[in-house]
Amino acid sequence: MRADGDAPPPDPAAKPQAPPDLGEALHALGADSRAGLKAASDSLKALRILVAADFSLARSAFGRALAFTGVAIAFGASSWLLLMGALIAAMQAAGISWLVSLLIASALSIAITVAAVVAAMRYFEHTRMQATRRQFARLGFGELADLMPNPGSAESSVDAAQRVAEANATAGKPMKKGLGVDVTPP
């Protein structure tokens, strides 16, 4: 058989072959069964590797998100105290009023806190295990199964997830599954 799936045309000069005997047919069936089992095993190994990689990414992202959350808390609290004291003293020496001095110190502290919170939220996004959820949905498992393409489809799971996210954004309200529980977007 050729790689494009078409069988070569039969040679008109060739004699028709006799069907294989029962032993050969059973041997061929066994070989095909082993090949199918190996393909299924390889698919499961690939899925296991994907899940392990996704958990590793989630674990790493969670640690970084916690670190940035700690930074946000530390800067939110300590920078208020330290900067307020130092800046207010310097601004008072420069002739700036108490009110303006306090506003400047608090604005700087809030800006650093917001930057750390944004970084933490970005890393928390990696804990959603998106790749694994898309692949399980393609196999028919989970709440996204009805929204993703079938395993044999040429459509990319990432493209389907993007399409679902865009539809969700335009609807203005989250999708619901069976009992009215929100579906976590892909």
Q: What is the pLDDT of residue 178?
A: 58
Q: What percent of the chain has pLDDT over 70?
A: 83
Average pLDDT over residues 116-136: 81
Residue 114 pLDDT exceeds 90: yes
The pLDDT of 33-38, averaged and rounded, is: 92
* pLDDT for 123: 83
Task: Outline where 15-139 has alpha helix (H).
Answer: 22-93, 98-124, 130-138
- What is the three-state SS of 119-181? HHHHHHHHHHCHHHHHHHHHCCCCCCCCCCCCCCCCCCHHHHHHHHHHHHHHHCCCCECCCCC
Dihedral over alpha carbons 102, 104, 108, 114 (to 10 degrees): 80
Distance CA 154, CA 141 (A): 19
Q: Region 70-77: what's the mean pLDDT?
A: 86
For the chain, what is the radius of gyration of the CA atoms?
30
Query: Looking up tokens 């969700």, which residue turns up?
Result: 168
Which pTM value belongs to this model? 0.42
Cβ-contact 183, 176 below 8 angstroms? yes
Average pLDDT over residues 1-11: 61
CA nearest to 129, candidates 116, 144, 150: 144
- The lowest-confidence range among 11-15, 108-112, 160-164 is 11-15
Would the pLDDT of 36 be above 80? yes
Q: Is the distance from CB of 134 to CB of 142 less than 8 angstroms?
A: no
pLDDT higher than 90, residue 95: yes
Percentage of the chain with pLDDT > 90?
12
- The first and second tokens of residue 155, run together, are 């459509």
pLDDT number for residue 117: 92
Statement: residue 26 has pLDDT above 80:
yes
Most confident of 7-21, 51-65, 127-141: 51-65
* Residues 165, 184: Cα–Cα separation, whole Å: 10
